[in-house]
Amino acid sequence: MAGFVLDYVVFDSPLGWIVVGAGTEGISMAAFLGAQQPGGELAEPAIRDEYPEALPRPAEGQGFAAEARQYIFDYLTRGRPIPEIPLDVRKGTDFDRRVWRAISEIPFGQTRSYGQVALAAGRPSAARAAGRACGRNPVPIIVPCHRVVGSGGKLGGYSGGLEIKRALLDLEKRSRGAPMQ
């Protein structure tokens, strides 16, 4: 694949610094960068980890990346669900994409097991493969793989780390005012 421009924004949040990148059709990536304030020296390598062919370009406060930044910030600070955002994800297998669609259907404040997600993606015996697809999700806040847990409720993994996964689940639980399902 030829190189493509990926406009990005970097911002601070209650869970640390985040980079959001957007292609021409929508959001291509969102990644946690850690607690220390990053500059382009951390954001651009994170982008290239996700899309080696990308040509990172700082966004000027407009476009898909800036819009997603506001939605993510409102989610993390006010507990507002992130609305449907156009995606421009340029990676993943057919199964990965089916898993990501199934994850996108999990309601705010609820969880599903890896097995339930595999079933929804059309491969009921592929719970581990569904877990791997979660790990490859380039937009983990927007396609909320933090809502996917082990069959016994065990957290499993998360690209941002288990502390962030737990914080996101707790945020949704508090925002809903109801126990997680």
Size of the chain, expressed as the number of residues it contains: 181
Q: Going along the chain, which residue ranges are E strands?
A: 4-13, 16-22, 27-34, 54-58, 112-113, 148-149
Say whether 134 is catalytic. Answer: no
Rounded to whole angstroms, how far apart are CA atoms 112 and 1?
34
| Structural Rg of the chain based on CA atoms | 16
3-state secondary structure of 144: coil
Of 68, 145, 168, 169, the active-site residue reads 145
Q: Which amino acid is at 173?
A: K
| Residues carrying an active site annotation | 145
